[in-house]
A = this chain, B = another copy of it.
Amino acid sequence: MAELTQRDVAYEANGTRMIGCLVAPVGAAGADASALAAGGPAAESRPGILLVHDAFGLGADTIDLAARYAELGYAVFAADMWGERTEPQGGADIGRLIGSMAANRGEWMSRLGAAHEAAAAQPEFDADRTVIVGACFGGSSALEYVRTGAPVVAAVSIHGGLDLVAHDWSAAIGSATVLLCTGADDPMAGPEHWQPIKAGLTGAGIDWEFDLYSGTRHAFTNPKTDALGMPGAAFHPRNAARAWARTVDFLGEVTGAAAGIRSSAR
């Protein structure tokens, strides 16, 4: 297990105080020597993952997830999208928060942009190799960020709420690469939702992979899903493992064979 450093990072978006969290491997002496020699980023910088939480806010589960990615060698910046580390508890709160983003996409993207800027200011985080990653609302956010022209090399949407993603991809940057892992029985990600996304990505020249799992509902990677009693959502441990494995491979591919990033064994 790599030794990790973790610290809160306060930043602001349109007057709201956010408290993100940086988790990264401790040190990397010599790991990026070739990059340094080429005038690249400082020795301690690592490909950056901008991790966007699900509807429940930036809590312990998301920070644990950030640590899982950091153990693979990434510098992970977990964004705080609701501000002040708000963790909404009930469906009404969640609906209000997500609704406020869907109703004001400029604000939504401002918050992501502010998180990305705060991430880029951390010495561990190589912003030139940023991948935005998220599940549920975080997956919607990752796709929206790409759709609106975000400077990321790639995005990962794990059971993203595809119904939240708008349809105009004209601002997107064609060099991005996108991975979507979605349950075939996810009511927020049915064919009526992913067909326009596939068309939009393709139209924007964005490379994509779409992995669809049978018998799988919304929020399938979250062990706590079942306790919520949400119709259309269920934990699916095997496909959570598949999506994790696929994401790890994808991250390794799109961030390059960076020293310190564990490659898959093949």
Query: Per-residue 0/1 for A201-222: is the Cβ within 8 Å of any B Cβ (1 yes, 0 no)?
Result: 1100011111111110000000
Q: Could you say which of B207, B246, B262 contacts A265, with CB atoms under 8 Å apart?
A: B262
Give bound CA distance, A198 to B191, whole Å: 13
Decide if A245 is an interface residue (CB 8 Å cutoff): yes
Q: Which of A209, A210, A253 has the most CB of B within 10 A?
A: A209
Chain A interface, >50% SS class: mixed
Residues from chain B with Cβ under 8 Å of A211 in the complex: 209-212
Q: Could you say which of B207, B242, B248 contacts A209, with CB atoms under 8 Å apart?
A: B242
Residues from chain B with Cβ under 8 Å of A244 in the complex: 266
**On chain A, which size bracket covers the interface?**
20 to 34
User: For the complex formed by this chain, how many copies does it contain in all?
Assistant: 2
Contact A207 B214 (CB under 8 A): yes
Closest to A238 in B: B253
Give bound CA distance, A201 to B262, whole Å: 36
Closest to A252 in B: B245
Decide if A249 is an interface residue (CB 8 Å cutoff): yes
Query: Per-residue 0/1 for A181-207: is the Cβ within 8 Å of any B Cβ (1 yes, 0 no)?
Result: 000100000000000001001100011
Given contacts A207-B215, A245-B249, A265-B265, 14 further A-B contacts (CB under 8 A): A184-B202, A184-B210, A198-B214, A202-B214, A208-B214, A209-B213, A209-B214, A210-B214, A211-B211, A238-B253, A242-B253, A246-B246, A262-B266, A264-B264
**Could you name 27 residue pairs across A and B whose Cβ atoms are closer than 8 Å?**
A184-B198, A184-B210, A198-B214, A201-B214, A202-B215, A206-B214, A207-B214, A207-B215, A208-B213, A208-B214, A209-B211, A209-B213, A209-B214, A209-B239, A210-B211, A210-B214, A211-B212, A212-B212, A244-B266, A245-B264, A245-B266, A246-B246, A248-B266, A262-B266, A264-B265, A264-B266, A265-B265
